[in-house]
Amino acid sequence: MNHSLRPAYDMPRIYLYRNPVDFRKSFRGLAAIVEQELGHNPFDGGFYAFTNRQRNKIKCLFWEDNGFVLYYKSLVEEKFRWPRQGDALMSLTGQQINWLLDGYDISRMQGHKKLHYDAVF
The residue extents of the domains of the chain are 14-108
Q: Is the CB of residue 58 less than 8 Å from the CB of residue 72?
A: yes
Angle (nearest 5°) at CA 2 between 26 and 80: 50
- If one counts every other C-beta atom within 10 angstroms of the C-beta of residue 99, the result is 16
pLDDT in tens, 48-63: 999 999 999 999 999 9
Distance, C-alpha 59 to centroid of its chain: 9
User: What's the predicted TM-score (pTM) here?
Assistant: 0.81
The percentage of the chain sitting over the pLDDT mark of 70, rounded to a whole number, equals 88
Separation CA 77–CA 79 (nearest Å): 7
pLDDT at residue 115, rounded to an integer:
65
Separation CA 42–CA 11 (nearest Å): 15
